[in-house]
Copies of this chain bind each other. A is one copy, B any other.
Amino acid sequence: MEQELKKITREILLGFWKVHILHHASEGPVVGQWMLNELQQHGYRISPGTLYPLLNRMERHGWLRSEVDAGAGLRARKSYYLTDRGRDVLRFLRERVEELRNEINEEARG
């Protein structure tokens, strides 16, 4: 069951968490380590080697922008904020999630 969760994570859940991150960023700043902790508390696991490059990439995509917090060192904490473009992406994804949900969830149709 542990290996199974790992497969599901790689194939599918990671994508869900990206949506989660965008949504989270729409409500307040997002910090890498917080996400690591939050997911772990829910029984999941995302590697730092996955999360941080992912955040960088989302910034490169123009969905997030980052601000270095206090002491401006190379390894200082970064807060990520949703951009306007990121907001558009999130809006789009909300619809896709709703569609998927309606499709696969019986109750949604009853």
Interface, chain A (partner B; CB < 8 A): 4, 7-8, 11-16, 18-20, 23, 57, 61, 85, 89-90, 92-94, 96-98, 100-101, 103-105
Contact = CB atoms under 8 A, between A and B. Distances in A.
Given A12-B93, A19-B100, 16 more contacts: A8-B89, A8-B92, A8-B93, A12-B15, A12-B19, A16-B97, A20-B100, A20-B103, A20-B104, A23-B104, A94-B105, A97-B100, A97-B104, A97-B105, A98-B105, A101-B101
A96 B44 CA distance: 12
Number of copies of this chain in the oligomer?
A: 2
B104 A19 contact: yes
Given A15-B12, A61-B7, A23 B93 contact: no
19 contacts: A4-B85, A4-B89, A7-B61, A8-B92, A11-B18, A11-B61, A12-B15, A12-B18, A12-B93, A13-B96, A15-B15, A15-B16, A23-B103, A23-B104, A90-B104, A97-B97, A97-B104, A98-B105, A101-B101
